[in-house]
Structure 1
């Protein structure tokens, strides 16, 4: 089917996402049930676990790091170069997106480019802005849900829980964030460097198999 051929990458990635988050959901519920049993507490139902701070915090903790990595990557690759990498612009090539006011007159361009200079400037940065907005939303949900988990743990141990605002300065929140951020930035740097010397046939994330190592861009 043409729909599957034209959208296969998105469909497969979303199916992999659905399977992965379902696995996290079920495995996390079992872990929470085992923890409740060890503390002689009543275990949550699966539906209750779905909206629990424990589950939501773990989900958005990961989403936060992914959207941060993608937004940083999209923006940094716009003006930083790694010669020889498939993930970099060619420093010797002409800028692709200059003279947008003239390019806006070409047939088939996005209509927003014809709305004026302000809209062109905004649209020209819309991908990075959207990804950064998704990072901020994910971070806020991770922060507030993690604060709830910490407050529950504090109450169980007879301690005074921190407010959500105070929890923003708690090492636990930043430990959860930085442990994911560092892996995202490392994996991106590894991809940038490996794509100089290694190839994946027919992938747009790779240079052509026969391309010289010094060739930059895919």
Structure 2
């Protein structure tokens, strides 16, 4: 029991956001199902079951288009912070630390410690993969979510075209369409704004106790990394 409590405490941040995610996803499914049936009723069509709705292309689009924008945001932010800096922001390395860092700084190969991850102690392709594994994971989820969004959107578009007596279009035509990019860029621009705002506002504003903020008394031009 003590081990369980220790695990919950040491993993509370991940667990909290996992619970919030599940609750939000369930809430989205319930609200989306109700709204979808309202729309069907207004058009004189029979309602669909909850299972049919959450397995429908419409629901997949709504979920996937948000996932892909979120993971694209993190993918680009992780990539950008390797080479770009913002003086004074806790989201950035300090000036002069741009780049991937030396083996000694990264504690890999002969510089790895006894408790370092096993793949940090090796050389070759395994070390390269592990050194870039976070970026690769974020990029993979983004691409899969983008693909799911495009495939589901293509199905819905063809269904709507059939209802209006229009010919079906290819997947390639759909992903080049204004409708697809309108939905996609709506999400992308909001994510990029949020990241940029976090980087800039954290130079001058503080949140005591948060790891995403500098200590309250640290000068604006100094990042939390420089103050350590």
TM-score by length of 2: 0.90
CA distance in 1, matches of 2:132, 2:74: 14
1:172 positional shift: 0.9
- The answer for the alignment partner of 2:168 in structure 1 is 161
In structure 2, runs of 5+ residues without a counterpart are none
How many residue pairs get matched? 217
CA distance in 2, matches of 1:93, 1:63: 31
Q: Tell whether the 8 Å contact from 1:101 to 1:117 is kept in structure 2 after alignment.
A: no
Name the SS for the 2:70 alignment partner. Answer: helix
Q: Does 1:101 align with 2:109?
A: yes
- The answer for the alignment partner of 1:85 in structure 2 is 89
CA distance in 2, matches of 1:174, 1:213: 39
CA distance in 2, matches of 1:173, 1:102: 49
Name the SS for the 1:180 alignment partner. Answer: helix
- The answer for the alignment partner of 2:16 in structure 1 is 12
- The answer for the alignment partner of 2:197 in structure 1 is 190
For residue 122 of structure 1, the aligned residue among 107, 114, 129 is 129
CA distance in 2, matches of 1:60, 1:68: 12
Name the SS for the 2:11 alignment partner. Answer: helix
Q: Does 1:74 align with 2:81?
A: no
1:93 positional shift: 5.0
- The answer for the alignment partner of 1:40 in structure 2 is 44
CA RMSD, Structure 1 to Structure 2 (Å) = 1.6
- The answer for the alignment partner of 2:118 in structure 1 is 111
Q: Which runs of 4+ in 1 moved over 6 A?
A: none
